Amino acid sequence: MNNIVSLKWLLARLYETDLVIVDCRFQLGKPDFGREAYEASHIAGAVYLDLEKDLSAPIDEHGGRHPLPDITDLTIALSKVGISNETRVVAYDDQGGAYASRLWWLLKYLGHEQVFVLDEGFTAWQNAGFPVNAEQKTLVPARYLATVQHNMLIEMDEVKEKLGAEHITLIDSRDGARYRGEVEPLDRIAGHIPGAINRLWSEGKGEDGKWKSADEQAARFEDLPKDQETIVYCGSGVTACPNVLALQEAGFTKVRLYAGSWSDWISYEENPIAVGEE
């Protein structure tokens, strides 16, 4: 797998100087949870980046619940924790890889090649007896220059233009009940973008909590054409990222993230909404 590294892979490279390990733990509705968890205990040498303070912009009228961060602000945040263009980055969380995948996607979007998500996450690392501590790493700032990959992103108006087009696959990464509009715990309107199919992001992991292999990911998406554009969204653009990663592992090359996702889509009153199965 190209984007996932194992616990043992990281253990073998833990103290290499060109490696930055980023703790991305976070919990919706508990904004201080991740930082407090990090300060209590983290993988030895890890730094912390916060989903809402570092990896998102402030909420506005449009853009969804976790708008993409301003590029300049993001490069400053990366530079502060010692990430340069040459750094190998390993991101982890304890939430199935959702938040680590957000950092993975953002770095890929900035043109960064050497970025990986740690398989299984923090608890598995700790349970394996691998090094954890509460020490704050002395941060040596680096210089980060972004080369933005605009083709990885799609905005609301372009999604809307493409509704109903035959050469597009639109994937909703939320659970089935939210997709069908039966429940909506987070957003003010339930349903999905018309024409979207449902592929729950967490099905990219096996029952053992590990990411599925490239072949298993390919099997998840075997009914979808690899050669056409695939657009992925979720509620706020976060849990779509593990699906983007899984699609890449499965060999899809034309994958774009609708970062504003459902919470952005419904901020435009004129946008159409679908409920039930497609």
User: Could you give the residue numbers annotated as active site?
Assistant: 234
**Strands laid side by side in the 19-23 sheet:** 4-5, 115-118, 88-92, 19-23, 47-48
According to DSSP, the residues that pair with 40 across neighbouring strands are none
Cα separation, 239 vs 252, whole angstroms = 18
Contact status, residue 143 vs residue 20, Cβ threshold 8 Å = no
Tokens for 134, please give them.
């509460």
- Residue 215: count other Cβ atoms within 10 Å of its Cβ: 11
Tokens for 99, please give them.
């938040």
Cα separation, 179 vs 191, whole angstroms = 6
Q: How many residues are recorded in the chain? A: 278
Distances (CA, A) of 161 to 40, 126, 261: 47, 47, 15
Cα separation, 73 vs 85, whole angstroms = 16
- Residue 145: count other Cβ atoms within 10 Å of its Cβ: 10
